[in-house]
Structure 1
Amino acid sequence: MSEGPLFAGAALRRLRNREGLTQAAMASRLSISPSYLNLLERNQRPLSARVVVKVVDEFDFDPRALREDAAIGGVDGLVRRFADDRFAAFDVDRGEITELLASAPQAAAAFAHLYDHAGSDAVEGTDPLTASRREIERWRNHFADLDTAAEEMADEMRLSRAEIGAALTERLREKHQLSVRILPREIMPDALRRLDLHARQLQLSEMLDTRSRNFNVALQLARLERQSLITEFAAGAQLPDDTARALFERHLAAYFAAALIMPYGRFLRACEATGYDVRVLMRRFDVSFEQLAHRLTTLQRVGQRGLPFFMARVDRAGQFSKRFAGASGATLLDGSSSCPLWNIHEAFGRAGEFHMQSVSADGAGTARDQWFTIARTVDGSGAEGDARFVVVIGVEARLAGDLAQAKPVSLKPDHAQPIGHGCARCLRENCQQRSLPPHGTPLRFDRSKRGTTPFDFSAKA
């Protein structure tokens, strides 16, 4: 959680109502007085570390949910949204925004959601990909039942790195009477994987490397053996149509495949033992950087949590083709494009190298908004040369001190590179890299001088 006093009255009140408890009953379970709980719920007292621990222990509660403002960027995130000229007539100052977030965090989150999707809901509301991604983020990309089922299967198969490919193939053969056949590209020019039930074969393209072949076999096992669990998750999802549900199911199947190859307990222990060394983890579990990045965003098992990473995949134009915030609360992934000052773009020129950087969102330069990121190129679909992207993972800088890849990087706040959310959403002034003015922000013009940037505006509300 962020540093500083933690006022979480609304979250405590919702938890109490969810459990059907009176203030007296909940106070008893937390070993505090009813009057003190009343003060906490009215945000007249901050939560102490002891009370937070009691809440987590008594109610199996995720402590990150107490810091409700993280997902919308806190006060700074709301200030950025209220800076829009559509709200200029209301003259909402920072003090009022702070009060709104403290007293009505859910209302603040609803406003932020409405603002972020204003003008695009007509399209995004029916966009299956967006709907699926929102459902994934609602779960913080952690599906405990899938992790447990995958771990049980991995134990049953006695999976180990040296034998994972053979073990997966053998499971497919023995339990489902399916063999794995590698076919030339000219036979499968437009497909990487195909299930041929007539020939009793899982056919894979020769263009897939070993890691991608293993993943595709694990993916097929997910569909064959855990489809009912996947379907159950998708049936209960808040999705608008069958296409969005199919996309969500596809994500869940891939989640299970990754969890089978990187079983939760063993994977987390390896992360902690190596300082989340991505080079070691890739070799130890025989996975690609993209597969590893996905898995790192999922480590939120109650009582056995990993660091809250985010991940994204970016193309050469700076567009996000994948975005998973997980439990990180990262606002860096807001919008559809990235900041050119983020060194993820430099990675395209040095394929296969790891690029580390300390960045601060919106140029705030504070520990709360500061992130440590690692970026590396990946080839699309495992087919060498067909497409190239950059995958980036990140974690709050305050949590990154012991990471293996962070050792050569200064994590001091004033050494962080300020970045925005793409020019159209960025309110950083005097940025010479800017290519577009911020959306909805009035421009200023002075005929007597030419500034160092093409657009002059004020970000102040």
Structure 2
Amino acid sequence: MKLYLGRRLRHLRRELGLNQSAMAAEIGVSPSYLNHLERNQRPVTAQVLLKLAEVYDVDLKSFAAEGGEGVGAAQLAEIFADPMFGGLAVPRYELAEVADNAPGVAEAVSRLYAALVELRRRPAGGEEEEEGAALSPQNWVRDHIQASRNHFAYLEEAAETQAGALGDPLSIAEPMRRRLKEAFGIEARIVPPEVLDGATQHYDLHRKRLLLSALLRPESRTFALAYQLALVEFRPLLERMVEAAAAPDAPTARLLHMSLANYAAGAVMMPYAPFLEAAETHRYDIDRLCALFGASVEQVAHRLTTLNRANARGIPFFMLRVDAAGNISKRFAGEAFPFSRYGGTCPRWNLHGAFQTPGRTVTQIVETPDGQRFFTLGRTVPRSVRLDAQEDSQLAIGLGSDLRHAPRLAYADGLDLANPQVMPIGPACTICPRIRCPQRAAAPAGRTLTVEVGRKTISPFPFLGG
């Protein structure tokens, strides 16, 4: 199969701060040939891929995998499964050709569809939005973060330096409080929740006071301090990153600023090199990492998706956070993400079953329709603030990676990975190709149903394959 990876190649070059002539010289090709590769006028050869791996420590599997940076055929298939395209029946190979040979067109289609999805969610008769605001800030920021594979090298370096000056991660809260006070004149206080009127933390700019809700759990309180420290300590860097991202409007830029500060806060609490070393030493035991760094399960799970530093990579995890109703509120990935972008998750993935065993980690090996297998973990987590008994509902975290990484995980001990029990799963039901799924909740778009009045099948929506 020919690989057209121009968008990813260009992103890598820009991330390294190189022009085309410099990169071409380093990988042993002509500038004109590199230009053709970046414009998808030539496929990337095996020799070029190997040279990228040698010179820049590129992980070839994630670099060449569909679903990394840019819009792949799987995402286009999900878009064209929408009922408004009914009757077109665009074949998969055509979608693959668009994704590979015309990435700009694929990106444009993706943005238009994302804008349509946002418009559908708005109540009828609502006020008109500004031009360009149809794509929600949340989706724009998520796409921007994923384009960088959820790793920001400059923030990592700054956070690691800051964490080294603060000392032991397990007792980092007090040094952070002192740093805020002594270097920036900011006083941190814990106040009753009524004072904050529904907020969990608030920075009073005029009095230079950071007010933290008494309902925040200890690890969330530490994260709040780290977040505020990141805002003031890394302010010039954060502002440059937000400016370079060129967000479409002010609300999106502010959300990106907050997201990058959150990233930096996690990196201060769990500095890259010590965290990666601990993760490898303890075989990615989440509870052990929580104990070593004074972090929550969710904070550790999120941090595990960011370990993508050149020459020091961890296992490339993906992560989801869902509530009991199946609403996805977080989605991060260190490499290709195997689930639906616009729909929910597959009910056969036991992430949902985690709610039946609160606090316990459940494991499952799943297989996507294209035959790729993943080792996954599911576990409930509490919200960052303590609510009353009637509202203290839990969330579930789903964490996973390619099955080939499973031997490095403590959670895989005792499992027969050579002959594993595998659960076939799929993307959203409307685009899932699995014919005999007993949990199918919707008819597949663009497929011919084979319902017979005198015959009932396991799946409520039988359809023709192919």
1:340 aligns with 2:354: no
Give the letter for the 2:202 counterpart.
R
| Residue of structure 1 in register with 2:444 after alignment | 438
Q: How many Å separate the matches in 1 of 2:92 and 2:253?
A: 40
Q: 1:104 aligns with which of 101, 112, 129?
A: 101
Asked if 1:314 corresponds to 2:322, the answer is: yes
- Answer whether contact 1:358 1:372 (CA < 8 A) is retained: yes
Contact between 2:71 and 2:106, CA under 8 Å: does it hold in 1?
Answer: no
Instruction: Give the alignment of 1:97-246 within 5 angstroms.
Output: 104=101, 106=103, 110=107, 113=110, 117=114, 119-120=116-117, 122=119, 125-157=134-166, 159-188=167-196, 190-197=198-205, 200-246=208-254
Q: 1:313-353 CA distances to partner (integer Å, 9 max, x unpaired)?
A: 1011112011112x321132522411111111111122111
What is the SS of the residue equivalent to 2:430?
helix
Q: Once the 2 structures are TM-superposed, how far is the Cα of residue 119 of structure 1 from its aligned partner?
A: 4.3
Provide the rounded CA distance (Å) in 2 between the counterparts of 1:181 and 1:9: 50
The answer to whether the Cα contact below 8 Å between 1:347 and 1:355 also exists between their aligned partners in 2 is yes
Matched with 1:374 is 377
Q: Is this contact kept in 1: 2:380–2:396, CA < 8 A?
A: yes
Provide the TM-score with structure 1 as the length reference.
0.82
Letter in structure 2 aligned against 1:287: A
For 1:436 and 1:91, locate their aligned partners in 2 and report how far apart those are by CA, in whole Å. Answer: 18
1:305 equivalenced with 2:313 (yes/no): yes
Is contact 1:135–1:239 with CA below 8 Å preserved after alignment? no
Note the C-alpha offset of 1:419.
1.4
Q: Using the TM superposition, give the Cα deviation of residue 125 of structure 1 relative to its aligned residue in structure 2, in angstroms.
A: 3.4
Please state whether the residue corresponding to 2:193 is helix, strand or coil: coil
SS in 2 for 1:134: helix
- Secondary structure, counterpart of 1:182 in structure 2: strand
Residues 1:188 and 1:10: Cα distance change in structure 2 (over 3 Å): closer
Displacement after TM superposition at 1:21 (Å): 4.3
- Taking a change above 3 Å as real, the CA distance of residues 121 and 213 of structure 1, as seen in their structure-2 partners, is closer
> Which of 344, 356, 360 is 2:367 aligned to?
360
| Separation of aligned partners in 1, 2:217 and 2:35 | 59
Describe the shift of the 1:16–1:171 C-alpha distance in structure 2 as closer, same or farther (beyond 3 A).
closer
Taking structure 1 as reference, are residues 303 and 410 closer, same or farther at Cα in structure 2, changes over 3 Å only?
Answer: same
The answer to whether residue 327 in structure 2 is matched with residue 328 in structure 1 is no
- Compared with structure 1, are the counterparts of its residues 409 and 108 closer, same or farther at alpha carbon in structure 2 (3 Å cutoff)? farther
**Matched positions, count:** 443
User: Which residue number in structure 1 is paired with residue 127 of structure 2?
Assistant: none
Q: Are residues 75 and 188 of structure 1, via their aligned partners in 2, closer, same or farther at CA, if it must alter by over 3 Å?
A: closer
Q: Which amino acid aligns with 2:413?
A: K
Are 2:399 and 1:393 equivalent residues in the alignment? yes
Among candidates 48, 51, 54, match of residue 51 of structure 2: 54
1:178·1:200 contact (CA, 8 Å) conserved in 2? yes
**Displacement after TM superposition at 1:444 (Å):** 3.1
1:214 CA drift (Å): 0.6
Report the secondary structure of 2:231's partner residue. Answer: helix
Of all paired residues, the percent bearing the same amino acid is: 34
SS of the equivalent of 2:177 reads helix
Seen in structure 2, the aligned counterparts of structure 1 residues 231 and 435 have a Cα distance that, compared at 3 Å, is same
8 A contact 2:86–2:446 mirrored in 1: no
* Residue 66 of structure 2, aligned match among 64, 69, 75: 69
Bigger shift: 288-297 or 78-87?
Answer: 78-87
Tell me if 1:262 matches 2:275: no
In 2, Cα distance between equivalents of 1:70 and 1:406: 26
Cα deviation for residue 76 of structure 1 reads 6.8
TM-score, normalization by structure 2: 0.81
Please state whether the residue corresponding to 1:313 is helix, strand or coil: strand
Distance 1:43 1:83, change over 3 A: farther
Distance 1:209 1:304 in 2: 32
One-letter amino acid of the counterpart of residue 56, structure 1: A
Find the counterpart in structure 1 of residue 128 from structure 2: none
1:29-56 deviations in Å (ceiling 9; x for gaps):
546999x9999998789515xx534323
Asked if the contact 2:76–2:110 (Cα under 8 Å) also holds between the matched residues in 1, the reply is: no
Structure 2 residue runs of 5 or longer lacking an equivalent are: 121-132
User: For residues 359 and 73 of structure 1, what CA distance do their matches in structure 2 show?
Assistant: 23
- 1:421 Cα deviation after fit: 2.1
CA contact (8 A) 2:62 2:335 kept: no
In the aligned structure 1, how far is the partner of 2:115 from the partner of 2:218? 44
Matched-pair contact (CA < 8 Å) for 1:378–1:390: yes
Distance in 1 (alpha carbons) for counterparts of 2:9 and 2:161? 37
CA deviation profile, 1:393-440 (whole Å, cap 9, x unmatched)? 111111222211122444457622111223233232121112222344
Specify which of 304, 326, 333 is matched with residue 296 of structure 1: 304
**SS of residue in 1 equivalent to 2:172:** helix
Question: 2 CA distance for matches of 1:33 and 1:322?
Answer: 42
Structure 1 residues 306 and 182, CA, compared in 2 at 3 Å: closer, same or farther? same
In the TM superposition, residue 254 of structure 1 has moved relative to its aligned partner by: 0.6
Are the aligned partners of 1:73 and 1:331 in contact in 2 as well (CA < 8 Å)?
no
